[in-house]
Structure 1
Amino acid sequence: MNEIVAYFSSIPSAHRALILAGGIAFFWLIESASPFIRFKYNKWKHAGVNIFFTITTMVVNFCLALILLNTALWTTKHHFGILNWLPAFNPWLSMVIGLLLLDLVGAYFVHLIEHKIRFLWRFHLIHHTDTYIDTTTANRHHPGESVLRFLFTTLGVLVVGSPMWMVFLYQTLSVIATQFNHANIVLPKKLDTVLSYLIVSPDMHKVHHHYVLPYTDSNYGNIFSVWDRLFGTFKTLDRDKLVYGIDTHMKPEENSRLGNLLRIPFQKYRSPGT
């Protein structure tokens, strides 16, 4: 535990960038060699759009990073937040509780309200317009959504009372998890099912990217699957029935052109079908 705390307390920015780039490269190679779906698309062109949004997410997080850092320092200094109010117990258990709660507030909850509040859905919609789900889709977030997700991560840090090393650990696990569950790969069905009781597996998250309701409004989790199961938002769908995208934006000129994707939040709202 001491080694984990020491490393993530001062993890170099270069290491964080390497984890992000290395994860994309790792899953890119696997899905290229043995894809779940053999898409008929220009993989590099598709990746270019998604990597643009990955970069804008990184820029947003970098510009606002001081807010997150000061929030974590404040909770530690003032013993604020759930972890600081609990009695002292095994540090490993404390870490797991902290990660679970950060995932609840910083991922599950914000994802849920993005689907429920029309104004927020306009920004999150860009993520769902992708009709070729692969590992590069993981960070396909409109800059406006990136700001919102950052704010909820900060709220999670405040509520949970997370020290900065735990925040860095959570963000690292989050990056790896989202690249994994978006990757165009397929696991043995039994293995995927077993994993889905603990973490968000590829099959579980792919259901969320099915193009119509009610499947779009399900499986909101990022790292841990417990919240979807606990709050009744968990759904399954046979692999051969999956259709990626969102029914309101299935035309290529709307879902694959960068200029239009940036404008979608400000265009006329379209009601999804079922």
Structure 2
Amino acid sequence: METLVNYFETIPSSHRALILAGGITFFWLIEGALPLFNFKYNKWKHALPNLFFTGTTILINFLLAFLLLKTSDWVVANNFGIINWLPEMPLWLYVLLGVLFLDFFGAYLAHYTEHKVKPLWMVHLVHHSDHKVDTTTANRHHPLESIIRFVFTLLGVFLVGAPIAIIMLYQSMSVVLTQFNHANIKLPRKLDKALSYIICSPDMHKVHHHNLLPYTDSNYGNIFSIWDRLLGTYMELDREKIVYGVDTFPDEEKNSSLKELLKQPFQGYRKPTNLEELS
């Protein structure tokens, strides 16, 4: 565990880039071999706007990274934050709790808030308006959302009291897990279900991308599934019944246009239709 912590404490930028690019490449290839849905699409054309948003996310996080470092240095120097206030514990547990709580503040809470606050939902809509969810959808976030997510992560670092090694480990795990659970892959149902008790599995997260409520407002987790299960936002839906997108923004051509996606947060507020309203 000490070796792992030491590695992530000084992880080179090139290694972080390799984790991102390697994850996309790996799951891209797996999608071709074990697809959940046999999309009839030009995979590269579909990927272009998503990869553009991946680039803007990287840029924004790079420009703001010094804030994470300064905050982390401060909480460590002042013994501040949840994991530093707990009784002394083994290093593995300290790291696990650090990643677990960062996942809550930086992913679950951020995601939940984006669905509940109208202006934030319109920003987050860019992510949900993908009609062909695959591993490139993982980082399909409007630049404004990248900033919003960063603020929540920064809040998490402050409240959790995370040292830089735990932050880097969390971010690396977040990148890979989000690529995994967005990937258009078909795992055996029993395996996917077993994974969903610990992490956010592909079938579990795909429910969140269904185009109707209440499924759209469920399964907010990124790395761990514990927060959805504990806080009552976990839902299941047969993967064969999932329809991607948002029914109130049904134009797939516009939802595939980079120009239109950049403008999407500034359109009128429209939430997905609730299934109860259709019955």
TM-score between both structures, scaled by the size of structure 1: 0.99
Quote how far apart the aligned CAs of 1:33 are: 2.0
Quote how far apart the aligned CAs of 1:253 are: 2.6
Q: Which amino acid aligns with 2:117?
A: I
- CA deviations over 1:59-98 (Å, ceiling 9, x no partner): 1001101001100000001111011111111111111111
Q: Tell me the residue number matched to 2:173.
A: 173
Q: Structure 1 CA distance, aligned partners of 2:240 and 2:270?
A: 27
Percent of paired sites with the same residue? 62
Q: Tell me the residue number matched to 2:101.
A: 101
The question of whether the paired residues in 1 share the 8 Å contact of 2:119 and 2:269 is answered with no
Q: Tell me the residue number matched to 1:6.
A: 6
Quote how far apart the aligned CAs of 1:135 are: 0.3
Unmatched 5+ residue regions in structure 1?
none
Quote how far apart the aligned CAs of 1:268 are: 1.8
Q: Tell me the residue number matched to 2:115.
A: 115
Quote how far apart the aligned CAs of 1:184 are: 0.3
Q: Tell me the residue number matched to 2:37.
A: 37
Q: Tell me the residue number matched to 1:249.
A: 249
Local SS of the residue matching 1:252: coil
RMSD across aligned positions (CA): 0.7
Q: Structure 1 CA distance, aligned partners of 2:206 and 2:252?
A: 20
Quote how far apart the aligned CAs of 1:24 are: 0.1
Q: Tell me the residue number matched to 2:23.
A: 23
Q: Which amino acid aligns with 1:181?
A: N
Unmatched 5+ residue regions in structure 2?
275-279
Q: Tell me the residue number matched to 1:187.
A: 187
Q: Structure 2 CA distance, aligned partners of 1:135 and 1:32?
A: 11
1:68-79 correspondence to structure 2 within 5 Å: 68-79=68-79
Quote how far apart the aligned CAs of 1:54 are: 0.2
Q: Structure 1 CA distance, aligned partners of 2:164 and 2:272?
A: 40
Tell me the number of residue pairs that the alignment of Structure 1 and Structure 2 aligns: 274
- Please tell me whether residue 160 in structure 1 is matched to residue 156 in structure 2: no
Local SS of the residue matching 2:147: helix
Query: Post-superposition, which runs of at least 4 consecutive aligned residues in structure 1 deviate over 6 A?
Result: none
Q: Structure 2 CA distance, aligned partners of 1:253 and 1:35?
A: 23
TM-score between both structures, scaled by the size of structure 2: 0.97
The question of whether the paired residues in 1 share the 8 Å contact of 2:178 and 2:223 is answered with yes
Q: Structure 2 CA distance, aligned partners of 1:239 and 1:270?
A: 25
Q: Tell me the residue number matched to 1:218.
A: 218
Q: Which amino acid aligns with 2:186?
A: V
Q: Which amino acid aligns with 1:126?
A: V
Q: Tell me the residue number matched to 2:149.
A: 149
Quote how far apart the aligned CAs of 1:110 are: 0.6
Q: Structure 2 CA distance, aligned partners of 1:66 and 1:204?
A: 34
Q: Tell me the residue number matched to 1:239.
A: 239
